[in-house]
Amino acid sequence: MTKIEVNGAVLAYDEVGTGSPVVLLHAGIADRRMWRKQIDVLADRHRVIALDLRGYGESELPPTPFSHHDDVVGLLDALDLPQAALVGCSFGGAVAIDTALAHPDRVSALALFGTAVSGHEWSDQTNELWEDLVGDVDPEDFAATAAGEVRFWVVGPERTPEQVDPELLAFATAMDERALAAELALSAVDVVELNPPAAGRLGELRVPVLVTAGAADVPDIRQLADRIAAEAPQATRLPDVPDAAHLLPLERPTPTNTALLTFLT
């Protein structure tokens, strides 16, 4: 693990390999550890940087306004990298898209797994699924909230916990409890969003885009993958990965790594 000052905050990241640079951006229920099954595989061909976004994992959160997409470019500046391919999952995918829109000359490609999109409003169907699977939880009870989020996102609405690797569930729960503490702290800081948001601007993306999702993920996520593929001019939509939900790269590393190596090459 290395730490570096970016835009007034000290951010933590892992870096391995040499070659064309690739930055890995984690889900909002996770941290950079979710990429543990990708880093070494990609490092055979690429300079791989797995970042803890500001406030998450081991990255600091000073009480000053900031934007995640500017932090990504700040990291590239600090590492003297003119461009990088961005790989994102969920919230990390949304940050990757925002970065490509805000700083189009700094991003060479986007690979998106179960991605969110800034400005997207969750459907009634997804909100109803949350109520059915999770219900009301005390947001200050990190253990209960993490259990609910892991049930919703990592297990998914079409599976039961018994159908999912218990080690994956335990690791995801531990990451999510830490991420919930990060989100509580972030709620007290002015996080500057992309304006206008990405939801109405996917057609502006001018880089190759790879997009896929887990077949067991919530419907909105799979539909967002379809939307990105339809609207981004250079997008490739891979089929949904069977028996995988929101943390697709962690749950199904083999198809994830195959897709990444092919796309990034």
pLDDT in tens, the chain (265 residues): 999 999 999 999 999 999 999 999 999 999 999 999 999 999 999 999 999 999 999 999 999 999 999 999 999 999 999 999 999 999 999 999 999 999 999 999 999 999 999 999 999 998 888 888 777 777 778 888 899 999 999 999 989 999 999 999 999 999 999 999 999 999 999 999 999 999 999 999 999 999 999 999 999 999 999 999 999 999 999 999 999 999 999 999 999 999 999 999 8
* CB-CB contact of 220 with 126 (8 Å): yes
At residue 122, what is the residue type?
Answer: W
The pLDDT assigned to 122 comes to: 92
Residue 109 β-bridge partners: 85
Q: What is the CA radius of gyration of the chain?
A: 17
- 34-81 pLDDT, tens digit per residue, is 999 999 999 999 999 999 999 999 999 999 999 999 999 999 999 999
Q: What is the pLDDT of residue 52?
A: 98
pLDDT (0 to 100) of residue 261: 97
In sequence order, the β-bridge partners of residue 211 are: 112, 237
Cβ burial 199-218 (10 Å sphere, 16+ → b, else e): bebbeebebbbbbbbbbbbb
How far from 217 is each of 24, 58, 94, CA to CA, in Å?
A: 20, 28, 16
Q: Which domains does the chain have, with CATH numbers?
A: 2-121+189-264 (3.40.50.1820), 133-184 (no CATH)
Q: Which two tokens stand for residue 245?
A: 């939900």
Residue with tokens 């005390």: 138
Closest to 253 (Cα-Cα) out of 38, 79, 80, 94: 38
Number of Cβ within 10 Å of residue 81's Cβ equals 16
The pLDDT score that the predictor gives to residue 104 is 97
145 CB neighbour count, 10 Å cutoff: 18
Q: Determine the angle formed by the axes of helices 219-231 and 124-133, rounding to 10 degrees.
A: 150
Residue 77, classed as helix, strand or coil, is: helix
How confident is the model at residue 162, as a pLDDT?
96
Amino acid 130: pLDDT: 81
pLDDT of residue 207: 98
Is this structure's pTM higher than 0.85? Answer: yes
